[in-house]
Amino acid sequence: MEKVELKFLRITYSHTHAGAYALILSELHGDRRLPIIIGGVEAQAIAIQVENIRPARPLTHDLFKNFCDALGITIKEVVINDLVEGIFHAKLLLEQEGRAVEVDARSSDAIALALRFGCPIHTYEFILAAAGLKMEEGEEESSAAAQHEETEQKADIRNASPEQLHQLLKEALESEDYEGASKLRDELKRREGTN
């Protein structure tokens, strides 16, 4: 079967599933997107890695990475290998001392681990043909609108006092809003660098 390499593109709120998120993977050499609906916890596990946030204690995916590193296990590849009744299935291709092993995984966990191990993500052409979406012309405009909204939020953050930023950061961490916390952290670092 023909494999297609994917890359992580973004996580966004799901418009079709309340309280869920859409993990968007992009075809590396093409214009198709593969949206995978995931829960909030899974979205945060991916977001904290993408935003390079280091929690005080290792989260589950970080623990798994540390465990694998200690035992000399590497993830060579993640493959989204099936689509059954709208649910994506994945497998991890592991290697330890030259021995290859395949392990079944949820697609969200597999992507979270792929980002931590820096390994390639693949799927098969039949999955991308069935569930992939071509980038529409209007998508560029909606993406630009989202970027405009994010720019306005950044302007609000930039007008906040350092005390307000620290309080917002504390609240974001307590509510496990790691994506918001990373933006606040970046603003605090930016200010420290200009002083």
Looking at per-residue pLDDT, the higher value among 106 and 18 belongs to 106
Write down the H helix ranges in 86-136.
107-117, 125-131
User: Residue 153 gets which letter from DSSP?
Assistant: H
Domains in the chain: ranges and CATH:
3-134 (3.10.690.10), 137-194 (no CATH)
**Per-residue model confidence as pLDDT tens digits over 127-157:** 998 898 887 544 543 444 444 344 445 546 7
CB 169 within 8 A of CB 35: no
* Cα–Cα distance, 22 to 38 (Å, whole number): 6
Three-class secondary structure of residue 125 per DSSP: helix
Give me the pLDDT at residue 152, please. 43
Please write the tens of the pLDDT for every residue from 106-122. Answer: 999 999 999 999 999 99
What's the pTM? 0.69
